[in-house]
Amino acid sequence: MEVTNEVMPTSAERINEMLEPGPDGPIYMVNLLKFKEHAEYEDERETDLTGRQAYELYGRGVAALLPDYGGKIVFAGDVTFLMLGQVEELWDEIAIAQYPNRGALVEMSSSQEWRALAVHRTAGLAGQLNIETVAPGR
């Protein structure tokens, strides 16, 4: 299995898939996060922030924005140990957010408020995986 961390979707096909309605009912987005050692802003601003600190600015803002779209943070925690399997490098953090549906996620991430916060996300992330999941039995 090959794994490629990304910060934004890199193909038109993936973007089009994201715009499909998706499963009925709530979805849970599992975010596997890898931070840059030092934050790097696209506008080249000077900063002493680590990648994690920049991402935390984004995360706090998104946690406040999520309820406007029917979502919430379910879990966030640091990765401390890989018990089974093998990967070249571990992710730094895992976060799980719940949305009423995929459309709510797309609507939020298309909003002006989210785009203003996303500068910190891009500055802080070396890459991530976003995995859409649903509760069993649906």
The domain defined by 12-133 folds into: Alpha-Beta Plaits (3.30.70)
The residue that leads in pLDDT, 16 or 76, is: 76
| Domain spans of the chain, in order of start | 12-133
Average pLDDT over residues 94-101: 96
C-alpha to C-alpha distance for 34 and 65, rounded to whole angstroms: 22
Indicate the DSSP class of residue 120.
Answer: H
Which helix (H) or strand (E) covers residue 64, if one does? Answer: helix 51-65
Average pLDDT over residues 113-135: 94
| pLDDT recorded at residue 88 | 85
Instruction: Give percent of the chain above pLDDT 70.
Output: 84
The whole model's pTM is what? 0.85
The tokens of 99 are what? 């949305």
Q: Which tens digits make up the pLDDT trace of 33-49?
A: 999 999 999 999 999 99
| pLDDT recorded at residue 25 | 84
